[in-house]
Amino acid sequence: MGIEFTEYSVERTVGRMPVVGNRQTVGFMHGGAYVVLGESLGSMAANLHAGPGRLAVGVDINATHTRSATQGYVTGVCTPVHLGRTLTVHEIVVTDEDGKRCCTMRITNLIKDMPAHAS
């Protein structure tokens, strides 16, 4: 997928991904590729919030595609909507190189204790 992470904090997680290699057959950025970027950013942010000994797992994601990127890179910016003890909700906005919004996503993650490792 070629995702590059450029910022990583509880309040803001950012990554970018090339359009080339992530296109559908007609040359547009594949909708599923946007979702891969969004889920990667949202899950990373939720796990950072969860803290040591806890794990965030995705339970819901939705995406609205509003523009088609055809070249260059798209950038996803993930910000929290809700940071709770057991649930997080993040919004991810993906823009093209001109700053035009291509996709808006929301991901919900469940935070639980890390499972014990079998010996």
SS3 104: strand
Catalytic residue among 4, 7, 11, 39: 39
Concatenated DSSP letters for 35-47? Answer: HHHHHHHHHHHHH
The DSSP line for 14-31 is EEEEESTTSB-TTSSBPH
Cα torsion angle, 91, 96, 100, 101, sign: negative
DSSP 73-91: EEEEEEEEEEE-SSEEEEE
The answer to whether the CB of 45 falls within 8 A of the CB of 78 is: yes
Q: Is 39 a catalytic residue?
A: yes
Catalytic residue numbers, as ranges: 39
